[in-house]
Amino acid sequence: MKYFLLFIKKTLRFILKPLSFAPAIVVMYMIFRLSAQDGITSSQLSYKISTKIVTTADKLLDRNLSQTQVKQYAEKIHYYVRKLGHVTEYFVLAVTVAFPLYVYGVRGFALVLIAGTFCVGFAAFDEYHQSFVSGRGPSLKDVGIDSIGIFTGIILVRIAGFIGRKTIFRPLSKDK
């Protein structure tokens, strides 16, 4: 029975480990689809988000802003919301890329190098892709902004993995 359970455990690991990359593929697809939106559609989406942020803050702070004031504040933060979107989506990509690599045993500087190169490369490819989309264009600055999210995500995975290995998963790692 002991060997059968060990066999099941190893078989599940063999099957599930490659599936750990599925979230990264989904995130890359979502980023690619968002980048495929024309400039007007993309801008309208982030403007809606900016407006939602301002109206939510207005309700929380009980400021009773007029529609004109909401529009003015939304226009002020619109650029920052767009750039925060870059940081956020590439943070999520980095986590979904770095975590499976960590599971496969890639640690330390190698994790930063491999996951970072892959994610920054994808960011550069995505900016190049935007050069073919109406109303959009490539921006080296955006790759730099994406990199902030990328390396923050990778560092978070390194910290979480280290803490998890030292605390939570240590008892589970011993095959009895």
More confident residue, 125 or 172: 125
- pTM of the model as a whole: 0.85
Q: Which two tokens stand for residue 125?
A: 């490819």
> Domain spans of the chain?
23-39+81-170
18: confidence class by pLDDT, cuts 50, 70, 90:
confident
Write phi, then psi, for 38 (nearest 5 degrees).
Answer: -65, 165
Q: What percent of the chain has pLDDT over 70?
A: 95
Q: Is the predicted pLDDT of residue 133 greater than 60, yes or no?
A: yes
Q: CA–CA separation, 41 vs 151, rounded Å?
A: 29
Sign of CA dihedral 110, 111, 112, 115: positive
How many Cα atoms within 13 Å fall on the side-chain side of residue 112? 10
